[in-house]
Amino acid sequence: MDYDPNTNPFDLHFSGKLPKREVSASASKVVEKKWLVKDEKRNMLQDEINRVNSENKKLTEMLARVCEKYYALNNLMEELQSRKSPESVNFQNKQLTGKRKQELDEFVSSPIGLSLGPIENITNDKATVSTAYFAAEKSDTSLTVKDGYQWRKYGQKITRDNPSPRAYFRCSFSPSCLVKKKVQRSAEDPSFLVATYERTHNHTGPHASVSRTVKLDLVQGGLEPVEEKKERGTIQEVLVQQMASSLTKDPKFTAALATAISGRLIEHSRT
DNA sequence: CGTTTTTGACCAGCGC
DNA sequence: GCGCTGGTCAAAAACG
């Protein structure tokens, strides 16, 4: 969308040939004139770049708004769908022996989630349970996960088969929102935080800078290539896919990408 | 001063 | 009943 019909490659060709010409007295005047023309053209181009730049900004904002609406709609769809089909997902769940085994299997075999975070939903009449995995610094002991919602911590426990504690959170948006989550470092790979969500929010989705957090996690977090255990390889792979899918569906990331691309185009057109 | 976090106490479920 | 475990409560402390 940044193609500009007014942009003329003339300048480049001209300047490229300049040094090779023999310079006579009359020719130098011609060159001088051409330089003036070039200056004028450069100014015009600069104006044009500025105009396109501001246009890009507006388009980016529009895109962000559209994506935000899409995101909200997507959340709603997700909620409706999870209310509809309780049995199919539950089947697999009941066959498993322990809670923790279930958690792991769920992670390894599950399809990629629809939106940022949840990989799989398990629904019954009482509650919706979903699990999400976040990359985290090993040194970070806070057990907080930036998923865009606001949480109030109400407990912390040491569990039997995991050296790191489990933290319990409630959604603090409103007392009527009954969503809870548990966050604990993965026993298999301590560079992940495992967040387990119960029920669905009865209010609008996250407004915080989720995409920025995800970007940060990608930079800081455990996405360096790891090639040790088989299990870990699978976990890494799924996480990468999940994040990729999350990012492409995240409006703010899309907007940021658009801005970045337009920035690059402008930069390119300057050279 | 209101909100959030911390943390030990308490409770419920389960197996023995 | 008893002990173990996971989940929650609530008073005190910390925070903004």
Q: How far apart are CA A220 and CA A239, in angstroms?
A: 14
> Nearest nucleotide to A167 by CA–C1' distance?
C7
State which nucleotides on strand B lie below 7 Å from a protein beta carbon.
3-9
Q: Assess whether A133 and A193 both reside in one domain.
A: yes
Q: How far is the CA of A54 from the C1' of C7 (A)?
A: 54
Residue A248 maps to a domain: no
- Is A10's CB less than 7 Å from nucleic acid strand B? no
Q: How far is the CA of A181 from the C1' of B9 (A)?
A: 22
Q: b or e along A84-114 (b: 16 or more beta carbons within 10 Å of the residue's beta carbon)?
A: eeeeebeeeeeeeeeeeebbbebbeebeebb
Q: How far is the CA of A148 from the C1' of C15 (A)?
A: 21
CB A182, CB A195: distance < 8 Å? yes
Footprint of strand C on the protein (CB under 7 A): A 99, 154-155, 157-161, 166, 168, 180, 182
pLDDT at A156: 94
Q: Assess whether A133 and A194 both reside in one domain.
A: yes
Q: What is the CATH number of the domain that holds A147?
A: 2.20.25.80
Residue A105 maps to a domain: no
Residue A38 maps to a domain: yes
Residue ranges of chain A with per-residue pLDDT less than 70:
1-32, 52, 57-127, 138-139, 205-271
Residue A41 maps to a domain: yes
CB A134, CB A195: distance < 8 Å? yes
Q: How far is the CA of A268 from the C1' of B13 (A)?
A: 66
The label of the residue with tokens 């390889």 reads A233
Residue A20 maps to a domain: no
Do strands A180-185 and A128-135 pair parallel, antiparallel, or not at all (unpaired)?
unpaired
pLDDT at A127: 57
- Give the end of a domain, one of A141, A175, A198: A198
Token readout for A6 is 């007014």
pLDDT at A131: 86
Residue A205 maps to a domain: no
Scanning residues 83 through 142 of protein chain A, those with a beta carbon under 7 Å from any atom of strand B turn out to be 142
pLDDT at A170: 92
Residue A50 maps to a domain: yes
> Nearest nucleotide to A161 by CA–C1' distance?
C5
Residue A139 maps to a domain: yes
pLDDT at A25: 54
pLDDT at A122: 57
Q: How far is the CA of A226 from the C1' of B3 (A)?
A: 41
pLDDT at A167: 94
pTM: 0.46
- Give the end of a domain, one of A63, A81, A99: A81
Q: How far is the CA of A88 from the C1' of C15 (A)?
A: 46
Q: How far is the CA of A163 from the C1' of B8 (A)?
A: 20
Which range of residues forms the domain containing residue A158?
A: 129-198
pLDDT at A188: 82
- Give the end of a domain, one of A43, A61, A81: A81
Scanning residues 146 through 205 of protein chain A, those with a beta carbon under 7 Å from any atom of strand B turn out to be 150-157, 167, 172
Total of domains in chain A: 2
